[in-house]
Amino acid sequence: KERTGLVYERRFLNYKYKNSDLLSMHYTGTLFDTGAKFDSSVDRNQPLEFTLGKGQVIQGWDQGLKNMCVGEKRRLVIPPELAYGDRGAGSAIPPGSTLVFEVELMDVKSGERIYPGAPGAQASSPGLLDTIE
């Protein structure tokens, strides 16, 4: 309660998503050293959907997105060893790059991801985070 009489409640999401749940995230990725943007689901207006903990995204995301609530925003600074390491990713991410991601959890859906091409599947964007080796 504020001195002015205003009363507010802090609400927390009690639901803890499971590793089999589908997360829908908006993100913008930049290089730590230069600030250059290399990818953004926000620019495409298409959130990235993936299952956390299944190796579908870089390790820094698998670790840094745990226990987020829908609507929560985080800034992740990811060292190279939890991103693309010494190999980099194409011309956009040089080898050994530390990455910065501004992320927002848009939605959580129960169950495993339906992959493109499967019955009822929707196409997903081919962003940099779709695949990890």
Residue 17's identity, in one-letter code, is Y
Contact 60, 78 (CB under 8 A): yes
Beta strand 73-78 with 99-109 is antiparallel
Residue from 21, 39, 50, 62 carrying the catalytic annotation: 39
Strand ranges for 81-123 from DSSP E: 99-109
Q: Catalytic residue among 17, 21, 38, 50, which?
A: 38
Token pair, residue 1, equals 């309660």
| 101 included as an active-site residue | yes
Of 17, 50, 62, 84, the active-site residue reads 84
Catalytic residue among 21, 50, 93, 101: 101
Query: Is 12 an active-site residue?
Result: no
Distance of CA 61 to the CA centre of its chain: 6
Clarify whether 38 is annotated catalytic. yes
Q: Catalytic pick from 17, 21, 50, 58?
A: 58
Distance separating alpha carbons of residues 26 and 76, to the nearest angstrom:
13
Question: Among residues 27, 50, 62, 93, which one is catalytic?
Answer: 27
Active site residues: 27, 38-39, 58, 84, 101
